Structure 1
Amino acid sequence: MAISSSGLAAFHAVAQAESFTKAARARNVSQPTLSAQVRALEEAYGVRLFDRVGRSVKLTPLGQSLFVITARLFAAEDEAEALLAGVRTLSRGHLRIAADSATHVMPALGRIRDRHPGLTFSLSIGNSSDVLGQLLDYAADVAVTAKQTSDPRIRSVRLSADRLVGFVRGDHAFADRSSVPIEAFVGQDVVLRERGSVTREVFELRLAEAGVRPGHLLEVQTREAVRDAVATGFGIGVIFGAEFRDGEGLARVEITGADLAVAEYAVCLEERRRIPLVRSFMEAVQEET
């Protein structure tokens, strides 16, 4: 049985928009037409691709697996269209960026926007492992991450070198010290990103190498939450040096006696590097290096 291309396209649009209404608007078709195309695909194979609850839709496990495939399929179609059309200017388009921090990506986006004001952007923030996962799942066009990878599917450009630093609230015992040895973390409460973050991966490894056992560990989901937790008095925060901002009564503390060097990388899929939007981003970030 030959699979329906219109059915796949309709399925992909709904999965991407998470809504039949939004998908129909994006494809410039009526919602009944789009619904019929998806229903025909489901009935042809005797499967269910979406759970429909009121006006909301959610992918079933089978639908999630199919979405990974259609994302690759339509990404390749976009690349082929761009290649054959020989696009030389970027007068329109939408670039999806995944990053583990907005700090390292905003300058490049600003340059691209100034050169190509017709472009739009969406930025998703997550830990380094999630960011690479989005790229490999075709949920992002490009990414900025601190996680170095040797995966041959991924093209990587080093953006910057950095170092992990600590920071504390003004009433903390370390607040009046410009630096502390890593051994000083014994028994100290620490605020870190969740597992999958390079910050946490590197810092926990260095603590283990030094034989240091800290006190309580508070795990949070974003760097902004690390800052908020430290400001509330939950302990010592650890972040990239470039991400620390003065203010709110917080003091930066250098950590000595351990290799806390880290870096940021701009990455894209090797197979998609010639797409004009992707190429433009990778060129823009390299201007910083």
Structure 2
Amino acid sequence: MRLTQLRSFHAVATSGSFTAAARSLHVSQPTITTQVGQLETLYGVELFHRMGRRAVPTEMGERLLGLSRQMFDLEAEAVQLLRESGELRTGHLRVAAVGPSHVTRMLVSFNQCYPGIKVSVSTGNSQEVLARLANYSADVGVLAQVAQDSRFVSVPYSEHAVAISCSAQHRFAQRRSISIRELEGERLILREQGSTTRKAIETALQAAGVRPEVVMEIASREIIREAVLQNVGIAAVSEVEYVPGPGLRAVRLNDATVRTYAHVVCLAERQEGALVRAFIRCAQQGRPQAP
């Protein structure tokens, strides 16, 4: 059985005549007659009682009509789903990010533009984000560094200064800024290896010939914040990720350019996808001005 034969049958059964069915399908009446006749001959059944210009479904025709109605209703739903998805009125976007600081603003901007799109967000380190993009479990990623991999394309989003976070009891607490050389010998809490904030401060310290005392390496932003609050040491933190609170201070470096960045990343082969392009466009439109 061909779908065109079933479609012709359905049109006749719902319109009540071969002529009306031909008009609805924009084909000739003999074409409809031939296709319905082929269907009846193929299975040895009678689908219509021909009553002059009218065509009334037989008992078998009524049973087949019940099935064809379900099929073509589902087809209409599929067409509507695809049309709405293409117009970005429905769909599902999966975002992987290294942290909430940068991606939250992007999500707000995207939701304002496309409120009908469901968005799910997962977090992880840079390697995990790239892995999710590579295995298609995420559509776009938000990273603090450009992926040096030809499989991916990166779009700059923002840049932020790195400050020194300290407790209110620390000697830096009453200062608005300090020299990077004042970090010599200071008890320093570092992020884990691979952190872009860690890489930025280590590069600046090395360039200045400054050697602090590294007392801890911690992967969690929240634990670092608590350790600083307890005056275990000081920490470098991107200003966009700094969470102010009682007992905490953020002090800028006045003689060193230390920055972190945010990029929107996707697989090169998927950069022309409608959802991916829409997210990148919204991110760029809502991008904060560089300091």
Length-normalised TM-score, structure 1: 0.65
Q: Which residue of 2 aligns with 1:269?
A: 267
1:111 is aligned, of 90, 103, 109, to: 109
Please list, as runs of the form range in 1=range in 2, the aligned pairs for 1:1-289 lying within 5 A after superposition.
Answer: 87-289=85-287
Q: 2-side partners of 1:259 and 1:248: how far apart?
A: 27
AA in 2 matched with 1:130 = E
Q: Distance in 1 between matches of 2:254 and 2:141?
A: 31
Alpha-carbon distance between aligned partners in 2 of 1:156 and 1:232, rounded to the nearest angstrom: 38
Which amino acid is the alignment partner of residue 127 of structure 1?
N
Amino acid at match of 1:113: N
Question: Secondary structure of 1:135's partner?
Answer: helix
The aligned counterpart of 2:69 is none
Deviation at 1:226, TM superposition (A): 2.3
- The DSSP-based 3-state class of the residue aligned with 2:240 is helix
1:46 maps to what in 2?
A: none
Aligned-partner Cα distance in 1 for 2:223–2:137: 25
Give secondary structure in 2 for the equivalent of 1:103. Answer: helix
Gaps of 5+ in 2: 1-77
In 2, Cα distance between equivalents of 1:111 and 1:255 = 32
Q: Look up the equivalent residue of 1:280 and give its one-letter code.
A: A
Cα drift, residue 96 of structure 1: 1.8
- Aligned letter for 2:268? E
- Identity fraction in percent: 37
Instruction: Tell whether the 8 Å contact from 2:110 to 2:283 is kept in structure 1 after alignment.
Output: no
3-state SS of the aligned residue for 2:86?
Answer: coil
The CA deviation at 1:94 is 2.4
1:109 offset after TM fit, Å?
1.1
CA distance in 2, matches of 1:180, 1:170: 15
Give the structure with higher Rg (CA).
Answer: 2
Normalised TM-score (structure 2): 0.64
Q: Give unmatched runs, 5+ long, in structure 1.
A: 1-80
Contact between 1:154 and 1:270, CA under 8 Å: does it hold in 2? yes
Contact 2:109 2:286 in 1 (8 A): no
For residue 167 of structure 2, what is the amino acid of its counterpart?
R
Alpha-carbon RMSD: 2.3
For the residue of structure 2 that corresponds to 1:242, the secondary structure is coil
- Relative distance call for 1:129 and 1:189 in structure 2 (3 A) is farther
Aligned to 1:77: none
- Structure 2 Cα separation of the partners of residues 195 and 137 of structure 1: 24
Count how many residue pairs are aligned between Structure 1 and Structure 2: 207
How many Å separate the matches in 1 of 2:206 and 2:128?
24
